[in-house]
Amino acid sequence: MAQRIIVTGAAGFIGSNLVRGLNQRGFTDIIAVDNLTNGDKALNLVDLALSDYQDKTNFYTALEQGYYGHIDTIFHEGACSSTIEQNGQYMMENNYQKSKILLEYCQKTGTRLLYASSAATYGASSIFKEAALYECPLNVYGYSKLLFDQIVRRSLPQMHTQVAGFRYFNVYGPHEQHKGGMASVAFHNYHQFVSNGQVKLFGEYGGYLPGQQMRDFLFIEDLVATKLWFFDHPEQSGVFNLGTGKAQPFNDIAVTVVNSVRKKSGLSSLSLAEMVEQDILHYMPFPQTLKGKYQCFTQADMELLRNTGCDIEFRSVERGVEDYVNYLHKK
């Protein structure tokens, strides 16, 4: 039977890749919801099959009034994703209140809800496990995501449908070009190197040597594959980490970007030390504005997700970033 699906944030980085993944499986009755004030985001939708597009301004009221008919599944990717946004009222309205409307709707209708949370819920914790003990966000973005996760956890015993949240770690890959400063390090490193022959990273900070701050970097196609695995397993609910489970330093991103581009030109690979020596890799002083608000280390504890039976294999930085560079080079 055909399914009607809603994807919020559908013109964004993760949302558009998710619609693409659904299209590849033959799902086309998809209502895309977004805010196209930034018109460049529309380019992420041009090659996708949709049944409708709705601006987010009118969407939530129309949904509550039953305007869209029966909805099988909502993939909720829409949010203010800027970790440096200081307007807490705006953040809570977008990330918390709107999510709560969807949860209440799904509770009433039995519609399934698969939504985006964030590793920002952990703040400066050194343990990234889905438990209150380790959840201490450093900014209002992280708090907006955490509060909704807490509401979901409290609601799950009364839910008669699938509700699954995913704490994304550092996601990178195609269709993030509209994000500007919030685009991934891989995206910025690639364009820096192609334009100027140099890649810039943060210098020493937080007890880490230059470029050695570590994050759990996740390739977008692996994220989509995981979300679709849960789409195939409606019996699985909860709040789950979604990363690779292996932290790697920012230096690994830069080295892979540089060597992948060099490979395209028939040039040999360089070591990290050679890149630093030749000033291909340049370290900048750590910004004063980020001090005390920056996660120097993230690594998803993947036990809870793996316990569901989800067996998606995640790419390392070396493989994922090379795949991404190959994509960017064709653009």
Note whether 198 and 282 are within 8 A (CB).
yes
Q: Which of 47, 56, 93 is nearest to 74 (CA)?
A: 56
60 vs 1, more confident: 60
State the average pLDDT over residues 270-298: 93
Catalytic annotation present for 168: no
Q: Can you list the positions of beta strands (E) in 169-307?
A: 170-172, 199-202, 214-215, 217-219, 238-242, 248-249, 281-284
For 73-114, the pLDDT digits (tens) are 999 999 877 777 778 998 999 999 999 999 999 999 999 999
Note whether 247 and 215 are within 8 A (CB).
yes
Phi and psi dihedrals of 189, rounded to 5?
-60, -45
What pLDDT does residue 87 have? 87
For 240-249, the pLDDT digits (tens) are 999 999 999 9
Instruction: Single out the catalytic residue among 141, 143, 190, 324.
Output: 141
What pLDDT does residue 331 have? 73
Q: Which of 117, 128, 113 is nearest to 74 (CA)?
A: 113
Instruction: Single out the catalytic residue among 56, 100, 129, 179.
Output: 179
> pLDDT-derived band of residue 290, with 50, 70 and 90 as boundaries?
confident
> pLDDT-derived band of residue 1, with 50, 70 and 90 as boundaries?
low
Q: How far is residue 232 CA from its own chain's centroid?
A: 20
DSSP letter for 205, please: B
State the average pLDDT over residues 314-330: 96
Pairing state between β 214-215 and 248-249: antiparallel
pTM above 0.85, yes or no: yes
For 28-38, the pLDDT digits (tens) are 999 999 999 98
* Angle of helix 98-109 versus helix 56-64 axis, rounded to 10: 30
Per cent of the chain over pLDDT 90 is: 89
Catalytic annotation present for 108: no
